[in-house]
């Protein structure tokens, strides 16, 4: 019972400061994740621009080009209405043309089928990585601002703490 009372007391005491300590840590983590995903997108786009990159697919499962196209179409739903169809996702013929069969190698694959994947991959990074992490960062910044606005240092509990801190500084001087 004493331990439970102690835990309740700690929760009550830390309730006032929780937002002030949590949100800066959250913002720092979200900023790191946002910058990392933005760097991943920039690095991918840069590699696509300066090197001869092609994307293909293979599967050990029995997967047809139609099933892969359905999956890719579902993944591309957020941006498929905004971008032209040739940029939003590879067509069924491009998906079938970019399937890599190990016994045959990649010599028989057409370049335009292999390069049709990069807009889809970049948009996937934007929609599923950069934007959500940017929203988390913005949420953290707004929540920290709200926590700072709610914090009232003129309440008696904080005034006592401020007086104690100032008296210790005065005593040391």
- For 9-37, the pLDDT digits (tens) are 666 666 667 777 889 999 999 999 999 99
* Residue showing tokens 């209405």: 81
9's tokens: 């007391």
The stretch 43-54 carries a mean pLDDT of 86
Taking residue 172's Cβ as centre, other Cβ atoms within 10 Å add up to 6
- Reported as a single tens digit per residue, the pLDDT across 114-137 is 778 888 999 999 999 999 999 999
165's tokens: 């801190």
In this prediction the pTM is 0.74
The percentage of the chain sitting over the pLDDT mark of 90, rounded to a whole number, equals 32
Closest CA to 58 of 90, 98, 92: 98
The stretch 45-51 carries a mean pLDDT of 88
* Distance separating alpha carbons of residues 46 and 51, to the nearest angstrom: 8
* Distance separating alpha carbons of residues 60 and 79, to the nearest angstrom: 29
DSSP letter at 115 equals G
């Amino acid at each position: 019972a004493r331990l439970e009372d102690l835990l309740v007391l700690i929760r009550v005491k830390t309730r006032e400061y929780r937002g002030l300590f949590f949100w800066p840590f959250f913002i720092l983590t979200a900023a790191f994740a946002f910058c990392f995903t933005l760097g991943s997108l920039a690095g991918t786009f840069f590699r696509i621009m300066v090197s001869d990159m092609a994307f293909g697919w293979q599967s050990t499962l029995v997967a047809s080009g139609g099933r892969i196209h359905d999956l890719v179409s579902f993944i591309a739903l957020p941006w498929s209405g905004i971008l032209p169809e040739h940029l939003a996702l590879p067509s069924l013929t491009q998906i079938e043309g970019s399937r890599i069969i190990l016994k045959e190698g990649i010599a028989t694959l057409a370049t335009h089928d292999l390069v049709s994947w990069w807009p889809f991959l970049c948009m996937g990074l934007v929609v599923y990585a950069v934007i959500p992490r940017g929203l988390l960062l913005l949420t953290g910044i707004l929540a920290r601002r709200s926590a700072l606005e709610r914090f009232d240092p003129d309440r008696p509990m904080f005034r006592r703490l401020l007086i104690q801190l100032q008296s210790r500084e005065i005593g040391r001087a």
